[in-house]
Amino acid sequence: MHLNKDSLLQLDRIKRLNVVNAVSGIKPANLIGTISNSRQANVAIFSSVIHLGSNPALLGFISRPSKDVRRHTLENILETQYYTINHVHKFMIEKAHYTSAKFEKNQSEFEYCGLTEEYLFDFKAPFVKESRVKLGMRLMDCQPIELNGTLLVIGEIQHIILPDEAIHKDGHIDIASLDGVGLSGLNNYYQIEKLTSLPYARVSEVPDFMS
């Protein structure tokens, strides 16, 4: 199959959405937990969390346009400045998936989707108790992407919580051992499997791939 810009635009809207959402490959599945100043908790699944830097420790995620649909996650983050990022694991895929439903502001996805709010280290935003890797985040910036009206939400890591046995002495985290999952498109989930570990790439040590 070959799709150019014109043929892509001619696809049925749902098919085009699915193709474009999946074509970048497998993305991490995360639950972002927030709470409003009135103490209404919210949790929603995102597949757009990205690493932006290690010093300071910054992560970003994309919040979609909010003209027609209220974005409770973004509203709460802007209101309180704090949120959590929680990995999704194999045993919780279905619960995590249904947090994407369009719940009302006063309806907690934690309650409706069978997930548990957890408050740790006096951090304002709720973690997801079922998650084995939890990050406490503080909002640092929001950068508008004018081409499509989305926002790049940038936060600094305040807390990292994960099992001791999952982190190696060199700092690598074994996501596969925690049954971490990836997401393609809007509703296709993949199990993560570690294939190999390779050394830091140096020009002087590149193997002879031409022989």
> Mind listing the pLDDT tens digit for each residue in 37-74?
999 999 999 999 999 999 999 999 999 866 655 678 99
Angle (CA) 45-135-114 rounded to 5° is 45
Residue in the structure block whose two tokens are 């969390």? 49
Residue in the structure block whose two tokens are 């393609």? 184
Question: Hey, what CATH class is 21-184 in?
Answer: mainly beta
Give me the pLDDT at residue 88, please.
Answer: 97
Domain boundaries, the chain: 21-184
- The DSSP output letter for 101 is S
Instruction: Report how far residue 66's alpha carbon sits from residue 166's, in angstroms, rounded to the nearest whole number.
Output: 37
Give me the pLDDT at residue 48, please.
Answer: 93
67 or 93: which carries more pLDDT confidence? 93
* Torsion, Cα of 193, 154, 58, 99 (10° steps): -30
> Mind listing the pLDDT tens digit for each residue in 97-129?
999 998 888 899 999 999 999 999 999 999 999
Instruction: Report how far residue 9's alpha carbon sits from residue 11's, in angstroms, rounded to the nearest whole number.
Output: 6
Write down the pTM of the prediction.
Answer: 0.92
Helix spans in 35-169 (H): 72-80, 93-97, 109-112
Instruction: Report how far residue 120's alpha carbon sits from residue 86's, in angstroms, rounded to the nearest whole number.
Output: 13
Tokens of 178: 């925690």
DSSP string, 13-32: HHHHHHHHHHTT--EE-EEE
